[in-house]
Structure 1
Amino acid sequence: MSDTDALPPLPPVTLGYTDNALDRMSAKRGDALWLAATLADPRARLYVFAGETPILRRNEERGDPLFTAAEAEAFGEPVETAFLGLFNGAPRFARLVKELTKPDPNAYRIDEIKVDDPTLLITDMRTIAVQGIVEPHHLGPMAEGKALMHWHAMHRFCGRCGTRTEAVQAGWRRDCSGCGAQNFPRTDPVVIMLPVHGDHCLMGRQRRFPQGMYSALAGFLEPGETVAGAVRREIMEEAGVPVGRVGYLFDQPWPYPASLMIGCHAEALGRDIEIDTEELEDARWFSREECWMMLARQHPGRLACPPPLAIAHHLIRAFVDDGLVLSRIAS
């Protein structure tokens, strides 16, 4: 099989965290009576996070991330609770409790309360998503809840005057009584991009990656920068490759801890690579055929791409299917 041959079709895959059917009801966030009634609704359920870690109930081969308000009380005094939205009319909330500690391999503690209930499953968000531990429709709301709870944990004091802030607007704002500042949840934009030159794309690997994994390049969007400007800057900084046109493909909430991944293809103007060894362990050009083998887990060198959960997988797959995609030019 050569690069000019038609590559076999790959199975359909879904981009993680993008399916969120909640009606956020943002106009009701300031209505305290409505919120109290909503939390008291017998249909109300909470996603509970111990620090960065979701708590699940074991449910046969999968986990159930939803708890009633009474069930959630077993995990200790809440640090924060926020309204996420309505799912088919049923209220959904996120709750933050204190972080887990694990004093021995068989026991967890949550806020000094030992939890050795075999009906509970406590694992990290990435494992839950990659292994399909919860029903897919939970991933979007869980990403929303995890990112929001992380923001509350990291912004308990005013950045202007240092006064302790208070959550208002159903958990979607923190107000400072000292100087009157209003603080809103943060989402950090990240550009993630696949440089393409002819029938080859450029991928890199960081030292923390699993052995044999290569992925798209990525970096935070800086103040005063366009998406395309950030793409060109990051590729030049990390790999020394100049870039012309940039095309936006799709985006993805990424709750690690609270980012928006903006996925792009980029038109590389050459193939000479000069790696920033502080950022990358390696970078190299891959043919479309080789990318297909990596996506299909059939690479003879056991090289691989990120799983379908990640936007990088879909950028690479778009290259395999269609080459350089510039149908939506980013500026």
Structure 2
Amino acid sequence: MKDAERVTFGGSGLNRAAHLRDDAQALARMHRDPEALCVLLWRGKPLFKGDARDRLALLPFDHPVLLARHGGIIDRPILLGVEEGGAPIFAQDISEWEPDALDHDAMDRFHDCTEQLHPALPETHVFAELRRLMAGLSPRDAELAAAARAIIGWHDTHRFCARCGQPSEISHAGWQRNCLTCRGHHFPRTDPVVIMLITYGNSVLMGRSHGWPEGMYSLLAGFVEPGETLEAAVRREVMEETAVPVGRVSYLASQPWPFPASLMIGCYGEALAREITIDPVEIEQAMWVSRDDMMQIFSGDHPDIRPARKGAIAHFLLESWLADRLD
């Protein structure tokens, strides 16, 4: 696809400055740099600002929120990259902070509309769910938010060495963990996931998983298994879930998906048959949706099906299919 990188989290050309991650002197200078800024996260939620919540709020190192930290998932900021003018951008987690009240019932993974306001921040600055606001972010803010959420989430679940079970410590500006006991080195992981635009004639294959909100359908998707090509993963996943055989498969676009650590690999596949037989363990339902019906879904007028989440690669691929922009 010519416009593949227009997808949310598709990248903004951020200089990640990987060559500086193991340079202690350079990192010390960047920490002292008055232009240095931090992306803040609280329990996976980035800090946004503005009435529309469409911008990341980047804080300087001398901000009271950062000065008041006392431990947490990471004990030092993670270097995300360096802006063109030389200003370093870091990420810092403050999940140790406890808001006065939390509505846990409202904080579900599909529709978390809750916002948390830190007492040391203005009312225009709130922690909010990235999936809810991702479509309105600039490419640079989207890349920073995705990188920060993914790397901090990795540290949260990889505090111990996978080889010997002993505690590991952060190194390389947050992009590596080392075990002092067995000398093992551990690096952030990304799990490849194929997500498939499967067509038969003028229709596209859609499905829904168990527990999804009413009316929510999306493209079929699944993890790539060890020793498997992307093409084989597409054919296997579609066959397992719907018994639909797939012939030609081609790559379309990819999207980092930091919920928690996936790379969504968008593929196009041509179905060789139309009959569907779902595996009820894998999915709840699947159906062929015509182009006309998909147009109605995207306009919000369909009585039974809601459009895929805006900002997700499923929405991007379906929108491109409707506009004949897959080439």
Q: Which of 233, 239, 254 matches 1:236?
A: 239
Rate the CA distance shift 1:14–1:293 in 2: closer, same or farther, 3 A.
farther
> Shift of the alpha carbon at 1:14?
4.6
- Residue aligning to 1:97: 94
The whole-number CA distance in structure 2 between the counterparts of 1:200 and 1:183 is 44
- Residue aligning to 2:70: 77
- Residue aligning to 1:128: 133
Percent sequence identity is: 40
User: How many equivalent pairs are there?
Assistant: 302
Contact residue 23 and residue 85 of structure 1 kept, 8 A: yes
- Residue aligning to 1:170: 173
**Does 2:143 correspond to 1:143?**
no
Contact residue 78 and residue 95 of structure 1 kept, 8 A: no
> TM-score scaled to structure 1, two decimals?
0.84
Residue type at the aligned position of 1:46:
C
The whole-number CA distance in structure 2 between the counterparts of 1:317 and 1:147 is 26
**Residue 163 of structure 1: SS of its match in structure 2?**
coil
Unmatched 5+ stretches in structure 1: 1-12, 107-113
Residue type at the aligned position of 2:188:
P
**Does 2:50 correspond to 1:59?**
yes
> Shift of the alpha carbon at 1:254?
0.6
**Residue 323 of structure 2: SS of its match in structure 1?**
helix
Q: Which residues of 2 match residues 15-54 of structure 1 at below 5 A? A: 15-54=7-46
Contact residue 118 and residue 126 of structure 2 kept, 8 A: no
- Residue aligning to 2:315: 313
**Residue 237 of structure 2: SS of its match in structure 1?**
helix
The whole-number CA distance in structure 1 between the counterparts of 2:318 and 2:173 is 39
Rate the CA distance shift 1:21–1:290 in 2: closer, same or farther, 3 A.
same
Structure 1 residues 274-283 or 233-242, which shifts more? Answer: 274-283
- Residue aligning to 1:111: none
Unmatched 5+ stretches in structure 2: 104-116
Rate the CA distance shift 1:123–1:188 in 2: closer, same or farther, 3 A.
same
> TM-score scaled to structure 2, two decimals?
0.85
Q: Which of 271, 280, 293 matches 2:283?
A: 280
Residue type at the aligned position of 1:95:
Q
Residue type at the aligned position of 1:225:
E
Residue type at the aligned position of 1:59:
G
**Does 2:295 correspond to 1:292?**
yes
Contact residue 202 and residue 291 of structure 2 kept, 8 A: yes
Q: Which residues of 2 match residues 182-221 of structure 1 at below 5 A? A: 182-221=185-224
The whole-number CA distance in structure 2 between the counterparts of 1:220 and 1:19 is 22
Structure 1 residues 35-44 or 13-22, which shifts more? Answer: 13-22
Q: Name whichever structure is richer in strand by fraction.
A: 1
The whole-number CA distance in structure 2 between the counterparts of 1:163 and 1:105 is 33
